[in-house]
Amino acid sequence: MIANIVEWLTSSATWSGDTGLWARIVEHLWYSLLAVAIAAVIAIPLGLWVGHTGRAKWLVSLANSLRAVPTLGLLFAVALWLGPKISGDLAFLIPSVVVLVILVIPPILSGVYAGVEAVDPATRDAARGMGMRGMEVVRQVEIPNAMPLILSGLRSAFLQVIATATVAAYIGLGGLGRYLVDGIKTGDYVSTAGGALVVSLLALLVDGILALVQRLVVSPGLTGGRSGRSRRGRRNAEVANSSAPAGMSADGGGVVSDAT
């Protein structure tokens, strides 16, 4: 079985054509990117507002409760409701995207809200003391400090949507889910297993790229990186030394002689 899967994956016929593996990967990524983009437009501003104001926290709990909804059952329900009202290929695309958006809103919303709420209140007070107001505090203080959790929420959303976008094939769309649906229907378990493997590898690849982006975007001081720790250590030492008694080092060591 493993040898057959390897042969299927390395065959040029598997990758070529309008229904080949390259075309299915592009379709799969298109569905995933579209769903995450729409969900981000909804969830990021909402998470910033809830985290900044502390109001309507129940929205985060409500969104998280949507994780318990069966994705395939919701897809069929939305398709039966919206499908007859829409013509053409959109009758299949819109229900799938709606379901995927519902799936990925919770991790994005939770990440943004948790990141903003975790910002030290003293940092906000200092920003307001410098004359910042409203959206200035959000843009210049809360978003930069919340960036690790915001990007973690986006990474979680991408992992979930890439793994779940296979359900789009159940209502006639393309993507890597075609190998699972068609393979099971025809008894071609080699392509079924191969398609599932490609979905897993694609999710890991995208997560790895986003992890690299997160490492480049987020300040080392927020991630506890080596440079961030060293800078904090230097600042703490400077503060401690400035408050230590004259002639005494901050680490409690011996007396520092003033003699030259």
What is the pLDDT, as a whole number, of residue 33? 95
Does 235 share its domain with 187? no
Picking from 103, 9, 112, 116, the residue whose alpha carbon sits closest to that of residue 52 is 116
What angle (nearest 5°) sits at the alpha carbon of residue 156, between those of residues 80 and 47?
85
- Would you state the structure tokens that stand for residue 120, as one six-digit string? 């030290």
> Is residue 110 in some structural domain?
yes
Does 107 share its domain with 175? yes
> Model confidence over 197-207: pLDDT tens digits?
999 999 999 99
Does 211 share its domain with 245? no
Task: Using a pLDDT cut of 70, give the percent of the chain over it.
Answer: 85
What is the pLDDT confidence band of residue 247, given thresholds at 50, 70 and 90? very low
Does 121 share its domain with 238? no
Provide the angle, in degrees to the nearest 10, between the axes of the packed helices 143-164 and 189-217.
170
Instruction: Give dist(CA 256, CA 246) in Å, integer.
Output: 9
What is the pLDDT, as a whole number, of residue 224? 56
Does 96 share its domain with 207? yes
> Is residue 178 in some structural domain?
yes
> Is residue 138 in some structural domain?
yes
User: Are 46 and 109 a contacting pair, CB within 8 Å?
Assistant: yes
What is the pLDDT, as a whole number, of residue 222? 66
Does 207 share its domain with 232? no
182 burial (CB, 10 Å; 0-12 / 13-18 / 19+) is middle
> Model confidence over 152-194: pLDDT tens digits?
999 999 999 999 999 989 888 889 999 999 999 888 899 999 9
The model scores a pTM over 0.75: yes
> Is residue 149 in some structural domain?
yes
> Is residue 49 in some structural domain?
yes
> Is residue 258 in some structural domain?
no
Section 248-254 average pLDDT: 41
Does 233 share its domain with 188? no
Does 85 share its domain with 209? yes
Residue type, 249: S
> Is residue 71 in some structural domain?
yes
- The residue range of the domain holding 43 is 2-218
Does 175 share its domain with 234? no
Neighbours of 146 (CB within 10 A): 26
Does 100 share its domain with 173? yes
What is the pLDDT, as a whole number, of residue 123? 82
Neighbours of 186 (CB within 10 A): 10
What is the pLDDT, as a whole number, of residue 17? 86
Instruction: Give dist(CA 59, CA 51) in Å, integer.
Output: 11
Picking from 45, 52, 100, the residue whose alpha carbon sits closest to that of residue 72 is 100
Neighbours of 250 (CB within 10 A): 15
Q: Which of 18-32, 78-92, 186-200 has the lowest mean pLDDT?
A: 78-92
What is the pLDDT, as a whole number, of residue 236? 41
Does 167 share its domain with 246? no
Section 239-252 average pLDDT: 41
Total number of domains in the chain: 2
What is the pLDDT, as a whole number, of residue 221? 67
Does 151 share its domain with 74? yes
Section 43-72 average pLDDT: 90
- Measured in degrees and rounded to the nearest 5, phi and psi for residue 218 equal -80, 135
Q: Assign residue 30 the CATH number of its domain.
A: 1.10.3720.10
> Is residue 94 in some structural domain?
yes
